[in-house]
Structure 1
Amino acid sequence: MTSMTNVAVFGTGVLGSQIAMQAAYHGKRVIAYDVSQELLDKLPARWEWMRAGYQRDLADFDADRFDRAIASITATTSLQSAVEDADIVIEAIPENLDLKKKVWASIGAAAPPKTVFTTNSSSLRPSDFADATGRPAKFLALHFANIVWSHNTGEVMPTPQTDPAVFEAVLSFATEIGLVAIPVRNETPGYLLNSLLIPFLNAAAYLYVDEVADPVDIDTDWKIATGSPQGPFEVYDLVGFNVAINIMRNNPDDERLQRFADMLEKSAKEGRSGLSDGAGFYEYDATGQSQGMAPRWKLG
């Protein structure tokens, strides 16, 4: 066992809230930080959405354990309170390099010397903001997949400055919170998962922007021809539009991707950002089962 029992999660969106629950469900004390009370007020609804997922996907789901996990999570807008006794910080804020540098500088100035720093950044290179932490030897990436409780990989990736002992400790921590720890030996933007996934999703975006086919037909073709359980637009719904938008905005010279990101952004602002909202490219019932493609995405 590691000594990492106090976990601070920065960002309580779709994935940050899942990370907080994953750690709490596996016995860690969690503080969930976000910049406004309005964002924190969304957490009770997120817990109930996750409860349905845990119950559906985990054969050994324990409702009492889930309730204890909720009770063990403290939500705060105080950065100082979030980190004052943290053994590990897990950052899950938007994919914006300047924002990450600013937030990590604040965390680094406030956290005690014992604290290990990890980022869940989806596509940025961690070494590009490691120095902002003030302790790059204790900073590395711990990357979660969406629907953490069942898609439970934990990619652990050091930067060239990471202390090898910290790398090994975070691999152990990932296992302690119910992840399959995946060591990524050489730093690469996107780790293993997103290095494979992002080009796949971009290809689907190009097909839609070029009005080649409807999302449901692209998904159907992919699933039948490859035997995959999900098509790319189903994956967009799973990941959530806001994550996809932030990744695409890091490619400003790709005009087709920017047009697609504009479409996603409009939908997200209307409260239709994917599975967690009950609507994205597809519409979903209360249990998360697809009810078919949302008519708004049909071409023509």
Structure 2
Amino acid sequence: MSRLENLTVLGAGVLGGQIAWHSAFNGKTVVVYDIAQDAIERCRTAHDQYADIYLSELGASQVDISAARNRLRFTTDLAEAVAHADLVIEAVPEIPEVKSAVYQEMAGLLSPDILIATNSSTFLPSDFASDTGRPEQFCALHFGNGIWAMNFAELMAHPGTSRATLTQVGEFAVEIGMVPIPVLKEQNGYIVNTWFVPLVNAAQTLVTNGIATPEDVDRTFMIGGRAVGPLGMLDMVGMKTAYDVLVFWGRESSDAQMSANADYIKEHFLDKGLLGVRTGKGYYEYPDPAYARPGFLDAPHISAVADIVSLMLPE
């Protein structure tokens, strides 16, 4: 066994909340930390939704759900959050300065043997290793959204990560039902986001530039048998995370289109308080998104052609 029984998750957002719930469900004692109380409350609400999913899709019993809830605590006090941790998983916003600040604030609060992992979806562990104050005890462990179904965790070292750290964090992943995916060298975007970010950025470009509706972008992706299209995936990831990633890489790569896509998401979603699945609305409305309804991928009745043409040639 890994010895990593007490987990602290920094950040009560989409993935932070999922990691916390799934780890508690699989027997770990978990503290969820966030700087904002309203984020904690949203996380609690999300956990109610996850409980329903685990009951209906994973065969969980009410006893299992109650046990998971009893293993969870929530706090806005960082010192309290990490006081008894064996492992801290950082899942704060994808903004480098925010991550660095959290690590630096936390460094003096940790006992010597605590391990730290970043759940960053795009940044490298070497970007933050010195901020942790314990680079040999730090690596990346990146989870996929929809952790109960996307049960993989990308494990990535930086040059100073110790073998013992990688071994224990990899064992922890297995203990909570994850398939550890080794990333053999540091790579921005890891494995999944190396292909995912270009996919959703291309999909967003089609919408930003007025080439296609969100529904039709997703239809062209889903007709081949995929359950969710790229814009539905953006709703799942969350518009704030999507925005942060596009802003950073648009600036870093001098990519005007990526920056324009970030501006589109800000104007159409963030400025209206729409964060995707988390708030019940993004490109689609939840819990009953159009892409999941019967008929979304069916050939339409011939009478619908006139409406289709009107999208192309507005009167």
Q: TM-score normalized by structure 2?
A: 0.87
Amino acid at match of 2:125: P
Residue 10 of structure 1: CA displacement?
0.1
Q: Secondary structure at the match of 2:235?
A: helix
Amino acid at match of 1:230: V
Amino acid at match of 1:13: G
- The aligned counterpart of 2:233 is 235
Q: Name the CA shift for 1:255/1:23 in 2 (closer, same or farther; >3 Å).
A: same
Q: Name the CA shift for 1:152/1:127 in 2 (closer, same or farther; >3 Å).
A: same
Q: What is the root-mean-square deviation in Å for CA atoms of aligned residues?
A: 2.0
Greater Rg by CA:
2
Q: Secondary structure at the match of 1:283?
A: coil
Question: What is the alpha-carbon distance in structure 2 between the residues aligned to residue 264 and residue 274 of structure 1?
Answer: 11
Residue 43 of structure 1: CA displacement?
2.7
Question: What is the alpha-carbon distance in structure 2 between the residues aligned to residue 274 and residue 107 of structure 1?
Answer: 30
Amino acid at match of 1:232: P
- The aligned counterpart of 1:295 is none
- The aligned counterpart of 1:276 is 278
Q: Secondary structure at the match of 2:102?
A: helix
Question: What is the alpha-carbon distance in structure 2 between the residues aligned to residue 110 and residue 213 of structure 1?
Answer: 50
Q: Name the CA shift for 1:42/1:223 in 2 (closer, same or farther; >3 Å).
A: closer
Question: What is the alpha-carbon distance in structure 1 between the residues aligned to residue 6 and residue 107 of structure 2?
Answer: 16
Residue 26 of structure 1: CA displacement?
0.6
Residue 288 of structure 1: CA displacement?
10
Amino acid at match of 1:264: I
Amino acid at match of 1:128: D
Identity %: 35
Q: Name the CA shift for 1:153/1:268 in 2 (closer, same or farther; >3 Å).
A: same
Q: Name the CA shift for 1:202/1:40 in 2 (closer, same or farther; >3 Å).
A: same
Q: Name the CA shift for 1:238/1:34 in 2 (closer, same or farther; >3 Å).
A: same
Question: What is the alpha-carbon distance in structure 2 between the residues aligned to residue 230 and residue 41 of structure 1?
Answer: 27
- Give the stretch that moved more between structures: 184-193 or 63-72: 63-72
Question: What is the alpha-carbon distance in structure 2 between the residues aligned to residue 129 and residue 44 of structure 1?
Answer: 29
Mapped contact 2:208–2:264 kept (Cα < 8 A): no
Amino acid at match of 2:237: V
Structure 1 residues 170-209: aligned runs within 5 Å? 170-209=169-208
Q: TM-score normalized by structure 1?
A: 0.92
Residue 247 of structure 1: CA displacement?
0.5
Amino acid at match of 1:227: G
Q: Name the CA shift for 1:99/1:172 in 2 (closer, same or farther; >3 Å).
A: same
Mapped contact 1:264–1:273 kept (Cα < 8 A): no
- Give the stretch that moved more between structures: 209-218 or 2-11: 209-218
Question: What is the alpha-carbon distance in structure 1 between the residues aligned to residue 21 and residue 133 of structure 2?
Answer: 28
Residue 210 of structure 1: CA displacement?
1.6
Unpaired stretches in structure 1, ≥5 consecutive residues: 293-297
Question: What is the alpha-carbon distance in structure 1 between the residues aligned to residue 4 and residue 78 of structure 2?
Answer: 19
Describe the superposition over 1:161-217 as per-residue Cα deviations: whole angstroms up to 9, x where unpaired. Answer: 100121111111001111111111211111111011111111111111221111111
Amino acid at match of 1:92: A
Describe the superposition over 1:7-57 as per-residue Cα deviations: whole angstroms up to 9, x where unpaired. Answer: 000000111111110110011111111112222222321111212222333
Question: What is the alpha-carbon distance in structure 2 between the residues aligned to residue 288 and residue 81 of structure 1?
Answer: 43
Q: Name the CA shift for 1:254/1:287 in 2 (closer, same or farther; >3 Å).
A: closer
Q: Secondary structure at the match of 1:245?
A: helix
Amino acid at match of 1:178: G
Q: Name the CA shift for 1:289/1:17 in 2 (closer, same or farther; >3 Å).
A: farther
Q: Secondary structure at the match of 1:236?
A: helix
Q: Does residue 254 of structure 1 match 2:252?
A: no
Mapped contact 2:215–2:291 kept (Cα < 8 A): no
Structure 1 residues 21-100: aligned runs within 5 Å? 21-58=21-58, 60-100=59-99
Mapped contact 1:36–1:77 kept (Cα < 8 A): yes
Question: What is the alpha-carbon distance in structure 2 between the residues aligned to residue 219 and residue 36 of structure 1?
Answer: 34
Amino acid at match of 1:180: V
Question: What is the alpha-carbon distance in structure 2 between the residues aligned to residue 24 and residue 96 of structure 1?
Answer: 27
Question: What is the alpha-carbon distance in structure 2 between the residues aligned to residue 286 and residue 63 of structure 1?
Answer: 25
